[in-house]
Chain A
Amino acid sequence: DQQVKQNSPSLSVQEGRISILNCDYTNSMFDYFLWYKKYPAEGPTFLISISSIKDKNEDGRFTVFLNKSAKHLSLHIVPSQPGDSAVYFCAASEYNTDKLIFGTGTRLQVFP
């Protein structure tokens, strides 16, 4: 079941630069998308979300872009900070369902 894919297992970015994490999905019934950040041995922490009726949502240093026609979303972090180093998961859900379908995650490392 690969409904949500994160094709880059890792990403390394210099502090102060932009981090761009990508996510692709195959299920056209998904209408809500979320990004979670996860440190080892901790639970996923919610970062930002976007509804399918929008193409952009911004919260501080974090912006999520949604391209429905391409079934693609991305998370931009700018400027990147060393504390952003973690594994980032995108997740999606269909309308009026309970479950989130997660991607496999991208490990972001921000170096000084």
Chain B
Amino acid sequence: EPEVTQTPSHQVTQMGQEVILRCVPISNHLYFYWYRQILGQKVEFLVSFYNNEISEKSEIFDDQFSVERPDGSNFTLKIRSTKLEDSAMYFCASSGDRGTGNTIYFGEGSWLTVV
């Protein structure tokens, strides 16, 4: 069964450092997403991406965050200057279409710890 893959599975970084989280979405999917889950809290939407541009973003997704699809297969989330409160599990997801009726498939997650 096709799946969304993410690397690294766990990263520890110092506050203020830049982090890049990588994802390979399901190959025929066109819509890509990043979500995060802070420990003990619910899964929160960060951003969606389609046709090489951001289609929607949440208030969490401020200027320190950026997304990119540098080639035909990878989808990355960059956090420019990490803060302690960025520590969370970051989930990449993809879907074949957008909106109602379309299932979003999630990767295993990248656990980011900022120290």
Contacts and interface: CB of A to CB of B under 8 A. Distances in A.
Interface of A: 31-32, 34, 36, 41-46, 49, 51, 89, 91, 93, 95-105
B75 interface: no
Contacts of B98: 96, 98
Interface string B71-115: 000000000000000000101010000111101111111010000
Interface stretch (B13-21, B40-48, B62-70): B40-48
B111 to A, nearest CB: 7
B48 A44 contact: no
Contact of B33 (A95, A98, A102): A98
A43 B100 contact: no
Nearest to B4: A43
Interface of B: 4, 6, 31, 33, 35, 41-45, 48, 50, 55-56, 58, 89, 91, 93, 98-101, 103-109, 111
Contact of B100 (A46, A91, A95): A95
B99 A93 contact: yes
Given A44-B91, A45-B106, A96 B48 contact: no
A102 B43 contact: yes
Given A43-B91, A99-B58, 8 more contacts: A34-B104, A43-B107, A43-B108, A43-B109, A44-B106, A89-B42, A96-B100, A99-B48
